[in-house]
Homo-oligomer: A and B are copies of this chain.
Amino acid sequence: MTSINPNKYKLSEQTAKLTANALIPHVQKDSPETREFLHKVVELLVDYVNIQNDRSEKILDFQHPEDMKKLLNITVEDDPVSLQQLIIDCANTLKYQVKTGHPHFFNQLSCGLDVVSMAGEWLTATANTNMFTYEIAPVFILMENIVLAKMREYIGWKCGDSILAPGGSISNLYAFLAARHKMFPDYKEHGSKAIPGELVMFTSDQSHYSVKSCASVGGLGTDNCVMIPSDDHGKMIVSELERAIIQRKSIGQIPFFVCATAGTTVLGAFDPLNEIADICEKYGCWFHVDAAWGGGLLLAPKYRHPRLDGVERADSITWNPHKLMGALLQCSTIHFKEDGLLISCNQMSAEYLFMTDKLYDISYDTGDKVIQCGRHNDIFKLWLQWRAKGTLGFEKLMDHLMDLTQYQVKRIKEQSDKFYLIMQPECVNVSFWYIPKRLRGAPHDANLRAECGKLCPIIKSRMMESGTLMVGYQPDDRRPNFFRSIISSAAVTEADVDFMLNEIDRLGQDL
């Protein structure tokens, strides 16, 4: 059990039994009940932030779905509940939520909780505006301009255009659409009949599945997204890329889009960007870099080279500040080297929404550049965080996360009887097996790996049931299940890394 106590947060007797009808805007003057209600919610939230950072607290109190439904009263009914019940609802929700900011949560690419970014997101909620025009989001639109230009500067571009999207998958879709539009401007109006053959795209077999999804969504068919083999370290084999392009051209298809990944999901591998850029130039393909995961390292000179060398040659780049940089979910950016492409690709000329006879310089309006129309304000949390850390603060964070990863590698190697490091990581993903007692000293052959692989789901279940640790696992094309830990939370210390390994050992003792 975590120490969130849903009965701790008592409203005054008078307020407790009221309903939301007693809050602003249903009461017209300055409202003490609204203040009391909101401050009580925040008391809970601030407690949660503190409890989450207490290492003696559990990460989660696991319940199976059917049990959870019985445990919590979470139906929605005809009648309102009281303000006090709403507070209890909030507390119960957090009591059973997985503490993704706990220092022992190594489970996702996005771990941790940046409290400044969180404060930014609270303000975003309160401002409750949409990002389509300067008219209704003036300060936020300017912040987008400033932050996105700064990011392009770190990519190495002096110009270009960018937009925030709801996640890396949609960012990749923007890149795909812009590439198709750039090469075949008639596609927008006339579709696939606009061109004399089938479009075909290329990405590595380690890339995020959203790249393949573009081929499905965009009507090419996943057949026309060629998955290029990767090497043992998860990097695209560039000679295979060239071979595939030549082969597809030979059957009359039109190669138009190559996605390189800078930081793969599982292994954290960086594709060789310069070599891929050369191929793209040679065959006239759009060069997209999916740096959703690895993009943060653009801010860290120590790691930028050699991993991201050549990134500036890309036509488009996905970069998610909600991953390595720790901005709150969601915060994903897509950048284009060529200005004007976003709008010419996505504009549907909805003059009834985006009028041109306005009071101000409408070049600041973004509504016509996007496939979303209304967009959530994803900039303020990042802008405020950037103010709070400074670019140098992000650099320090990257260095710190990478140092901790090297510490983990060192500790794994020092305990090579218990752990097997699959490869030297390039990012903060560490891939490894736990070797149970009965198999220690056995040769590292397929048999051992298969046995170690079988333990992953068992140990993971035990992690969740004990609530002490969260580390992910998965198989890949070459290997059975293996653990992949992620150090992307600023909360993690060397002691936490030791805890991770010790706890896996404790949970796997008897297997």
- In this assembly, does A69 line the interface, its C-beta being within 8 Å of a C-beta of chain B? yes
20 more A-B residue pairs beyond the given contacts A60-B138, A74-B143, with a C-beta to C-beta distance below 8 A: A19-B388, A20-B116, A25-B489, A38-B45, A39-B42, A62-B359, A86-B119, A98-B138, A118-B128, A166-B167, A170-B371, A189-B221, A190-B221, A191-B192, A209-B349, A212-B348, A213-B346, A329-B374, A329-B377, A358-B461
B142 touches A265 (CB 8 A): no
Number of interface residues of A (CB under 8 A): 169
Complex Cα spacing A508 to B311, Å: 54
Segment from A7-15, A46-54, A408-416, A436-444 that makes contact with B: A46-54
Residues of B within 8 A of A60 (CB): 138
Interface residues of A in 73-112 (CB under 8 A from B): 74-81, 85-86, 89-90, 92-94, 96-98, 100-101, 103, 107-108, 110, 112
- In this assembly, does A406 line the interface, its C-beta being within 8 Å of a C-beta of chain B? no
A474 touches B41 (CB 8 A): no
The 6 A-B residue pairs whose C-beta atoms are closest, nearest first, are A219-B219, A191-B221, A25-B491, A166-B166, A121-B125, A20-B388
- In this assembly, does A68 line the interface, its C-beta being within 8 Å of a C-beta of chain B? yes
Q: Which of B119, B209, B361 contacts A64 (CB 8 A)?
A: B361
Complex Cα spacing A30 to B371, Å: 44
- In this assembly, does A223 line the interface, its C-beta being within 8 Å of a C-beta of chain B? yes
Residues of B within 8 A of A101 (CB): 25, 128
Q: Which of B81, B219, B330, B360 contacts A218 (CB 8 A)?
A: B219
B136 touches A328 (CB 8 A): no
Tell me how many chains of this kind the complex includes: 2
CB-nearest residue of chain B to A188: B216
B42 touches A25 (CB 8 A): no
Interface string of A382-416 (1 = CB under 8 A from B): 01101111111100000000000000000000000
- In this assembly, does A244 line the interface, its C-beta being within 8 Å of a C-beta of chain B? no
- In this assembly, does A250 line the interface, its C-beta being within 8 Å of a C-beta of chain B? no
B218 touches A217 (CB 8 A): yes
A225 to chain B, nearest CB (A): 10
Residues of B within 8 A of A25 (CB): 53, 101, 103, 112-113, 489-491
Asked, given contacts A46-B34, A90-B384, A217-B177, whether A64 binds B140 with beta carbons under 8 Å apart, the answer is no
Residues of B within 8 A of A357 (CB): 457, 481
CB-nearest residue of chain B to A359: B461
- In this assembly, does A506 line the interface, its C-beta being within 8 Å of a C-beta of chain B? no
Complex Cα spacing A24 to B25, Å: 34
A94 touches B78 (CB 8 A): no
A128 touches B113 (CB 8 A): yes
Interface residues of A in 429-459 (CB under 8 A from B): 457
CB-nearest residue of chain B to A60: B138
Asked, given contacts A28-B53, A113-B128, whether A90 binds B119 with beta carbons under 8 Å apart, the answer is yes
Residues of B within 8 A of A38 (CB): 42, 45-46, 49, 115, 119
A196 to chain B, nearest CB (A): 13
Complex Cα spacing A120 to B94, Å: 12
- In this assembly, does A232 line the interface, its C-beta being within 8 Å of a C-beta of chain B? no
- In this assembly, does A423 line the interface, its C-beta being within 8 Å of a C-beta of chain B? no
Residues of B within 8 A of A123 (CB): 41, 45, 90, 93-94
Residues of B within 8 A of A475 (CB): 351-352
